Chain A
Amino acid sequence: MSFGSTGYDVAHLLGGGVLLLSFVLLYQRRLDAVINAFAVQGALLAAAAAWQGYSQNNGELYVTAALAFAAKAVLIPLALRLLLRRLGLHRTMETALGVGPSLLAAAALVGLAVMVVLPATAGQAQALTRENLALALSVVMLGMLMMIARRNAVSQVIGLLSLENGLILAAVGVQGMPLVVELSTAALVLMLALVAGIVVFLLRDRMATLDTESLSRQRGEGEAP
């Protein structure tokens, strides 16, 4: 499978789409839009997994794809929307890093990922696997960047989940990765997201804001106000 063949091109297209959605996540200013972009990213990820299952002829990957679609594209976005409606939040959010600088940093990170992965795997794996790994590493780093660049707790949670999307993307691209690894990674990140959701509730209850910077004023032994 190399450049020009349908399998390669479609896999490349889907992986690139996931990465593109990561960029989209970075420049959204409204929470609704962030959640929508995240849902689309989940759907694309599910499609990428399904395509890999088809081209690798591996039934387990269809399970991954179905799980990813159900969780990432439907359930989590729905839950987040419910959360937003319940909390009655103002839908805009402030960024710690401006949109322009964060997009520039994101482009630099993608370059770095490509420069690291492509030479390191030279001659050891298929071209598709290598580029898939580069894309996945980029998605992971953009997820981290999003967690840093946003001050809103909900968008930080979405950054974490999009980071996990990158991990899944890497896992499905490599042949022979057992399903249990993907499932356990997904479970781990979902647990983290659950904890983060509870933190969001508490934050809202106690401080009437979702700005995580306000937490650093509440250090120490004393009771929160």
Chain B
Amino acid sequence: MLTALLLTLAGLGLLGLCAVPLSRARWGWMVVHGGALVASALFAGLGLAVLAGGALPAQALPLAIPGVAAQVAVDALSAWFLLILGLAGACASLFALAHARHAPPRLLAAYPLFLAGMALTLIAADGFTLVLGFEAMSLASWILIAAEHEDAAHRRAARLYLAFALFAGACLIPAMGLLGGAAGDVSFAAIRAAPPEGWVAAAVLGLVLAGAGSKAGLLPMMVWLPPYAAAPSHVAALMSGAMSKVALYVLARVLLDLSGPAQPLWWGVPLLVLGAASAVFGALRANLESDGKTLLACSTIENVGLIAVGLGLAACFRAADLGVLAGLAAGAALLHALNHALFKSLLFLGLGEVQHAAASRHLDRLGGLIHVMPVTAAAVLVGAAAAASLPPLSGFASEWLLLQALLAAWRVGDLAFQVLGVVAVAAVALAAALAAAAMLRMFGLIFLGRPRTPRAAGAQDGRLAARLALLLPAGLTVLFGLMPGPLLDLAAGAVQILAPQGVTERGSLAVLRVGDGGARYWPIGVALVLAVLGGAVWWLVRQRSPAGVARGPAWDGGFMAPPPHLPFGDPMTQPSATGFGQPLRRMLGGSLLAAHESVVMPRPGDPGPAHVTSGQMDPTETLLLAPVARLRDALAGWADRLRDLSLTACLILPFSTLVALLALTAWLEAR
């Protein structure tokens, strides 16, 4: 089975190499994306097979680099994330088959390599292969982000992304070196046998959190994340759905599996704190963005934060010998990773469909699309409801499990941790509520109301393949929402890797239990009750209005009637994206996002209009990027001074370096 996996990887690599000559042919793009679709399906199938059957032992990579024992293996954790990658990749490839007809050759080449890099990261069984796959993934996705490099903003996004990719590599490589220890054996088996301790463990924790956390989108290294809306829709879906999960896999693998179960209680705290902060920050920012894809990217920050909270909580519970709770938290994190991969892919693809049809992804240029794009609207509604964690959809089940695990944080004896748990519960609940508001705002502004531009009025649903690409994740989101119990059973192997004593019977088809005597959730029952209630309301409404539906002119918010050249009404009379976000910006944005708002009135007697300016800034940009940029400028200035040295100084510089080195040698010899 591992051979089949490796063959798939090799096939993807070959596809990447052949993409440029293939792109000359008219059917070349179809071959590339079809191949990616088949490979994704294979990934998902192999993941399922391993989850059901059992782990595949480590095996040396046939194309080994001299001096490095590169190994691959698939255990339950890898298999779970392979399943996620396969599902997200299949949806994205399907969408690409429908839309990416005129993709330039470099995108065709990078897309299979991106998939292959992610898969290689997931099946790696030693640090070297892991970093290799991770970097391949980063570089390939950089090419994909730089797709529309004619635009300066997109170029900036790609540059920022590349800088963060390099930063992640610069963090992960020393982390792997530290894990390898003095012997330098970075195979996972050797690392598990001698887990890091003391300052080495702390350094590994910091480096992996910075490296993989920046790729996943955890605070404060997520500056690059919102601009990746620049990528084509299927790539953005894959990055949000799969790549952030691969980074989380690295976090889980290194911090929870490789570092061993004997880590202290504080081991999970950084993950917990960063995750909770990211969740609130991302959800709040999603409420304020007016670019649809940027909004979704911010929502990704929130969901990644929730998953990180689950992982951190699992580490803490494990350290406190609360195995069952650790299993609960780990299961919640894994389940949410799967659910988020699907509904976020769905939302990105839905928004891609909207952008394709209505030529904009800006919320202020859309509106009323539910009438002209019913299929897309229904699919996006499912995704948005899942992202808003409404029962009985998939988002609810996993977030409910996560909150149950957080509510049990008081069972860890440490008082400080109990307080932290309370804060984390509040933060996660706030994040969930804010995410629901953000999804409501997104769906309302895009699909409800009246069209804000003629282009939005003339949109229509995509072709069959595009509809399939939306209906597949939508169907899976509903299905996974109805059966979280069987999914948790499927993930039992992966949970056991993260929390060795944590596997208990959590649920059957109908019911999901937290623990003995704890809370329960009947997803199918909830769905039935909601269906019955909805049917009853519909029936009642029909009964009360025997005349049937009559459409009247939309109320224009009290404004005067629009002129005849605006058949869909005056766009200014509808709420705008900024206006919708204003209450939250005023309430929370001031301190967290440096939101500002000012009104400039014309001078008395001047008939000109008053101007309202408002906006927000990412605080990480001023607190993190600006100092780094200043440091770079200062260093460049220093280096520049070297150019102006006189001839004698130029001679003195190497001479004194030589003398200093010789003195150092003499001093070392004397010791």
Question: How many residue pairs at the A-B interface have CB separations less than 8 Å?
Answer: 41
B interface residue count range (under 10 / 10 to 19 / 20 to 34 / 35 or more): 10 to 19
Does B588 interact with chain A (Cβ within 8 Å)?
no
Q: Determine whether A212 belongs to the interface, using a CB cutoff of 8 Å to chain B.
A: yes
Total chain A interface residues with beta-carbon distance under 8 A: 19
Cβ of A219: which chain B residues have Cβ within 8 Å of it?
A: 644
Residue B622 at the chain A interface, CB threshold 8 Å: no
Q: Which of B647, B658, B659, B669 contacts A212 (CB 8 A)?
A: B647
Kindly identify, within residues 613 to 650 of chain B, every residue whose CB is under 8 Å from any CB belonging to chain A.
644, 646-648
> Which residues on B sit within 8 Å (CB–CB) of A216?
646-647
Q: Can you name 4 extra interface pairs (CB under 8 A) apart from A120-B665, A144-B658?
A: A112-B666, A116-B662, A120-B669, A144-B651
Tell me, yes or no, whether B663 is within 8 Å of chain A by CB.
yes
**Neighbouring A residues of B547 by C-beta, 8 Å:** none
For the complex, is A70 an interface residue (Cβ under 8 Å from B)? no
Flag whether B64 is at the interface (Cβ < 8 A).
no
Taking Cβ atoms with an 8 Å cutoff, the residues of A that contact B are: 96, 109, 112-113, 115-116, 119-120, 141, 144-145, 147-148, 151, 212-213, 215-216, 219
List residues of B whose CB falls within 8 A of some A CB.
644, 646-648, 651-652, 655, 658-659, 662-663, 665-666, 669-670
User: Contact: A96 with B666, CB < 8 Å?
Assistant: no
Inter-subunit contact B665/A147 (CB<8 Å):
no
B662 touches A113 (CB 8 A): yes
Partner of A215, one of B647, B658, B663, B669: B647
Closest B-chain residue to A148, C-beta based? B651
For this complex, 23 residue pairs linking A to B, each with C-beta atoms less than 8 Å apart, are A96-B648, A112-B659, A112-B662, A115-B669, A115-B670, A116-B662, A116-B666, A119-B669, A119-B670, A120-B669, A144-B655, A145-B655, A148-B651, A148-B652, A148-B655, A151-B648, A212-B648, A213-B646, A213-B647, A213-B648, A215-B647, A216-B647, A219-B644
Query: Chain B contacts of A145 at CB under 8 A?
Result: 655
Shortest Cβ distance from residue A37 to the other chain B in the assembled complex, whole angstroms: 21
- In the assembled complex, how far is the CB of residue A181 from the closest CB belonging to chain B, in whole angstroms? 21
Q: Point out the residues of chain B lying under 8 angstroms from A120, CB to CB.
A: 665, 669
Q: Which residues from chain A contact B670 at a C-beta distance below 8 Å?
A: 115, 119
Most buried by A among B663, B665, B666: B666
- Of all chain B residues, the one with the shortest Cβ separation from A115 is B666
B648 touches A116 (CB 8 A): no
Residue of B nearest to A153 (CB): B647
A120 to B662, CA, bound (A): 11
Query: A213-B646, A213-B647 in contact; A109/B659 too (CB < 8 A)?
Result: yes
Q: How far is the CA of A218 from the CA of B655 in the complex (A)?
A: 24
Q: What distance in Å separates the Cβ of A105 from its nearest Cβ neighbour in chain B?
A: 10
A147 cross-chain contacts in B, Cβ below 8 A: 651
Q: Which residues of A contact B665 (CB under 8 A)?
A: 116, 120
Q: Which residues of B contact A215 (CB under 8 A)?
A: 646-647
Inter-chain CA distance A138–B590, complex, in Å, is: 68
B651 lies within 8 A of A141 (CB): no
Q: How far is A116 from B655 in the complex, measured between Cα atoms in Å?
A: 16
With a cutoff of 8 Å between Cβ atoms, the chain B residues found around residue A112 in the complex are: 659, 662-663, 666
Residues of B within 8 A of A115 (CB): 666, 669-670
- B669 and A148 contact, CB distance less than 8 A: no
Write out the residue numbers on chain B whose beta carbons fall within 8 Å of the beta carbon of A116.
662, 665-666, 669
